[in-house]
Amino acid sequence: MQPYNRRDFIKTATLALSSISLAGLPFSFGCRKKEGLFSDNSSPLSLWYDEPASVWTEALPVGNGRLGAMVYGGKENETIQFNEDTLWSGQPHDYAHEGAHEYLGQLRRLLWEGRQDEAHELGNEHFMSQPFRQTAYLPFGNILLNFPGHESASDYQRRLDLGEALSTVSYKVKGVQFKREVFASRPGQTLAIRLEASGKGDLTFTAGLDSPHSKYHVSVDGDHIILKGKANNFHQGRDRNGYPYPESRLTFEARLKVKQEGGKYNKKESSIEVVGAKSAILYLVAATSFVSYNDISGNPQQRCINYLANLEGRSYEKLKAEHIKDFKSLFNRVTLDLGNSEISKRPTDERLVSFTKDEDPAMVTLLFQYGRYLLISSSRPESQPANLQGIWNDKLEPSWGSKYTLNINAEMNYWPAEITNLSECAEPLISMVEDLSETGQNVAKEHYDLSGWVVHHNTDIWRGAAPINGANHGIWVTGGAWLSQHLWWRYQYTGDKEFLRNRAYPILKEASRFFTDYLVPYPENPEWLVSGPSNSPEIGGLVMGPTMDHQIIRNLFSNTIEAAEILGIDEDFAAELKEKRERIAPNQIGRLGQLQEWLEDVDSPENHHRHFSHMWGVFPGCEINRRKTPKLNAAARKSLQWRGDGPVGWSRAWQVNLYARFGDGETAHDRLVKLVARNAAPNLLNKCWDNRIQPFQIDGNFGGTSGVAEMLLQSHLRDEHGDYYQDLLPALPSRLSSGKISGIKGRGGFEISLNWEDGRLVSVKVKSQQGNKLNLRYNEQMVSQETIAGETYTFGRTDFNK
Ligand code: FUC
């Protein structure tokens, strides 16, 4: 196949790495005082810039859950890099290692005897996934637009309006006003682009497609530009144990339909030229042969033809109105206002530079809502869940395969889903857990000779569940158990019993079943049951009994027991879980007053590792909390303080949530500021490491959004009857002393709006969705109220003074 000649379009160095040194001085854009073309630059819900993006981390993301795109906004050469969420390397594959369980007893013995190196060796040789590594999420292609003569554009501005999920570019060339608009429509399953000139006949451009994959071909048929290809391989050859990596087998197709108003249309071999038009509309559709994790018999060509056929008869304006309505139906459920300052009006990249020192509370609003925007754009029912990069990836070899890391990252992506009223956006994660509860059964059988299901620290689109990469951190058994928490959360927030009965409970039950027989007695105290071989994620190597596993398994058992009680089933099984839950090794306070990360008291104050997995019991778990377990809470706090301010984006984001749970708004806010100052790229996507432009990792964005919500509302604790407390403003930082939020959700089915001034609650409005008892708590004062489903209740500050 002949690769499309990209040089037709790239005449300037728009796509080359910027000459700005992003390594040393990340965001030194200088001071630009020029006002943009748009009247309302102060809109708190937009990102805007007065230069095109020169690198991917400056481009602006749009997405409909399945299709994602990054808009560069180039003047002469526009690039819209796009993804489709099923384009992965590899093919359907069962990663379980046949007969691995024969080595399980030996692994445990070695670890009890302190022979960790030997255990690692044995694990690497006999206990790991086949092959050793999983596949990668891949980029799809680029829409390339060339506008001759536009290099001299002036009055330039590009922006992303979160409220309408629209990306726009606007500028002037020789007195003619040009405008581009891009959105990813979910109702239309298309990436829609409108190009427009103020003068009749002033719009001239060439449109084309290309792809980074080795095998692809571009052709033109009527007004369609057609890109066909086959996915590249990510891993090749054989793994370290000689097991072959499966070839990539997915095929893909994209079609760009070009429709102009006025002017001439010239069909070229692999591009379309439009000369002298008033405006043009471009629709991109894309699909692969992926059907499900074990079926790739889909027909991408037919899918593209169907998508385009569905667009027939719908005007661009209608499509845009449908898109905005669809997007707003989710986005508008929550509003946040933390006030504005003069700085809020500046271009987004300038605000990033000043955020650490200047008052810019609207930046917190922007970050909070950007997280919600990104979740809606990357995770909708029937799409794949948001991976390490959501759905935005331009690299054939993305960091960590842009897949799903389950020892923190994938779950963090979904922390904001329920509390920020986007329950539907968690649906892809829940579907993935359903798939994993199937593939994880064979892993339970082959690796542990047990029933139920188990998943280790990573998965991919083929739903790999076996331990990967290296025994010292890959053999970690609680990936599936952690994921199961999200099914329970859905029930806690929505009260949906059908969901609990038909979808959540079977998954929880089989995840628990695995652990009932997996846990083993602790030789030094056989009353205790411990997990292992496992690890405290990515630190300390393979061990028996890491604290995090025990916290997660206790949480899984508790949720399963409660679900069985609500559904009135499986009494005996619930009793067995209760008995075992009591025996799981407890959280322990060590010699320096810290919460122990392991069974042994070996934690060090010098350890600043990015993972602080034993904090799981504080958040996202809740068995350690300042009200019911104050001593453990203080120990956890001490351990977290030892870790410093978190060396990577996602660990800083986790700290925002943890300090919010500790009721420490000041430190939570400090970590939020650092999350932005050290990890936000110019387009506000979060980077994993400080001061490095790549890799981008979306967990920092989602964890940040969840952290802001946790500062304002927490609902994880319950009274003696099992009714949730809604803790209002539990960790309000002084720099966010006045504001209002509407529509966030508390467990038990409450939609809550709050208003506060000078650091104090002014009023609260609660809509009860399930008719549960409402327990509002503010400043240690309680207001309790029986509620009726559908009714709204309002309270003022004085209600909390009684
Ligand atoms: C884990 C983390 C890394 C990164 C990767 C995707 O391995 O320790 O920091 O987030 O996942």
At 597-656, the pLDDT tens digits run 999 999 999 999 999 999 999 999 999 999 999 999 999 999 999 999 988 999 999 999
Q: Which burial class, exposed, middle or buried, applies to 239 when counting CB atoms under 10 A from its CB (0-12, 13-18, 19+)?
A: middle
For residue 205, list its beta bridge partners: 274
Q: Write out the H or E segment, with its range, that includes residue 703.
A: helix 699-712
Contacts of 387 (CB under 8 A, 6+ apart): 137, 402, 403, 404, 410
Cα 328-329-333 angle, rounded to 5 deg? 90
Quick one: which atom of ligand 1 is closest to the CA of 611?
Answer: 8
CA of 379 to the centre of ligand 1 (A): 21
CA of 775 to the centre of ligand 1 (A): 38
CA of 145 to the centre of ligand 1 (A): 36
Secondary structure of 345-408 as H, E, C letters: HCCHHHHHHHCCCCCCHHHHHHHHHHHHHHHHHHCCCCCCCCECCECCCCCCCCHHHHCEECCC
Backbone angles phi, psi at 371, to 5 degrees: -60, -45
For residue 580, list its beta bridge partners: none
Please give the model's pTM, rounded to 2 decimal places: 0.95
pLDDT of residue 693: 67
Rounded to 10 degrees, the C-alpha dihedral 383/385/388/392 comes to 20
- Any residues with Cβ below 6 Å from ligand 1, and which? 388, 400, 405, 409, 538, 610, 648, 650, 688, 697
Which of 94, 48, 52, 43 is CA-nearest to residue 75? 52
pLDDT of residue 21: 26
Residues of the chain where predicted confidence (pLDDT) is lower than 70: 1-43, 691-693, 802
| Residue 668 to residue 729: CA distance in whole angstroms | 13
CA of 421 to the centre of ligand 1 (A): 27
CA of 131 to the centre of ligand 1 (A): 20
How confident is the model over 91-132, as pLDDT tens digits?
999 999 999 999 999 999 999 999 999 999 999 999 999 999
CA of 698 to the centre of ligand 1 (A): 12
For residue 719, list its beta bridge partners: none
pLDDT of residue 13: 27
Q: Which burial class, exposed, middle or buried, applies to 785 when counting CB atoms under 10 A from its CB (0-12, 13-18, 19+)?
A: middle
How confident is the model over 31-64, as pLDDT tens digits?
233 333 333 455 679 999 999 999 999 999 999 9
Quick one: which atom of ligand 1 is closest to the CA of 689?
Answer: 9
Ligand 1: residue whose CA is nearest its atom 3: 688
The residue type found at 485 is Q
pLDDT of residue 707: 98
| Residue 335 to residue 511: CA distance in whole angstroms | 37
To test ligand 1's pocket by mutation, which of 133, 387, 399, 400 has the most ligand atoms within 8 angstroms of CB? 400
Encode 142-167: b = buried (16+ Cβ within 10 Å), e = exposed.
bbbbbbeebeebeebbbbbbbbbbbb
CA of 353 to the centre of ligand 1 (A): 26
Backbone angles phi, psi at 682, to 5 degrees: -55, -30
pLDDT of residue 655: 98
To test ligand 1's pocket by mutation, which of 472, 539, 611, 688 has the most ligand atoms within 8 angstroms of CB? 688
CA of 654 to the centre of ligand 1 (A): 13
Count the neighbouring beta carbons within 10 Å of the beta carbon of residue 714. Answer: 27
To test ligand 1's pocket by mutation, which of 403, 409, 482, 697 has the most ligand atoms within 8 angstroms of CB? 409
pLDDT of residue 93: 98
CA of 314 to the centre of ligand 1 (A): 44
Secondary structure of 327-347 as H, E, C letters: HHHHHCCCEEECCCCHHHHCC
To test ligand 1's pocket by mutation, which of 538, 690, 692, 701 has the most ligand atoms within 8 angstroms of CB? 538
